[in-house]
Structure 1
Amino acid sequence: MKQSRLMSLVEAVANVIVGYGVAVIAQILIFPIFGLHTTLAQNLKMGALFTVVSTVRSFALRQVFEAIRMGTEG
């Protein structure tokens, strides 16, 4: 059964929100191990930037694999 467009959107938004939270928590836990001390505001900003980069990466890879799929079908 194919996923509806609405559920695809809900999944994508949930993925971004969870990814952002994981990034911020990971930074808070991992940065001090390496001697990096940042404020919560800095962690939130960096998490947002990492989320944007991850979203662009994910979109680009989807486009590449879609092009590969289309090339193998035709």
Structure 2
Amino acid sequence: MKQSRLMSLVETATNVVVGYVLAIATQIVVFPWFGIETGLPEHLTIGLAFVGVSLARGYLLRRLFERLRGW
């Protein structure tokens, strides 16, 4: 079964959103262990800095593997 580009994007976006929520929760717990004190707005901004890269990475890898599957 072949995955469409749209479904690749939907899957990747879902993965990124779930990862973003988990990353924010992890930052809130782990940062204080290292003496990094930030508020929620900073946590959200730090997380957003990685969302675009994560979305592009996931989508491109999904498309690469979809192409390789046909070999």
- TM > 0.5: yes
Q: Does 1 or 2 have the higher relative contact order (CA < 8 Å, sep 6+)?
A: 2
The answer for unaligned runs of 5 or more in structure 1 is: none
1:37 corresponds in structure 2 to 37
The equivalent of 1:25 in structure 2 is 25
Identity %: 45
Deviation string, structure 1 residues 28-58 (Cα, Å, up to 9, x no partner): 1111112222121110011112222211110
The CA deviation string for residues 7-48 of structure 1, in whole angstroms up to 9 with x for no partner, is x44x55543332221111111111111222212111001111
Give the number of the structure whose alpha-carbon radius of gyration is greater.
1
Q: Partner residue of 1:57? A: 57
Extract unaligned runs of 5+ from structure 2.
Answer: none
Off by >6 Å, runs of 4+ in structure 1: none
8 Å CA contact retained: 1:20, 1:47: yes
Report the TM-score, using the length of structure 2 for normalisation. Answer: 0.69
Change (3 A) 1:53 1:69: same
Cα root mean square deviation, aligned: 2.7
Q: TM-score, normalised by structure 1?
A: 0.67
Aligned residues: 69
Q: Distance in 1 between matches of 2:57 and 2:25?
A: 21
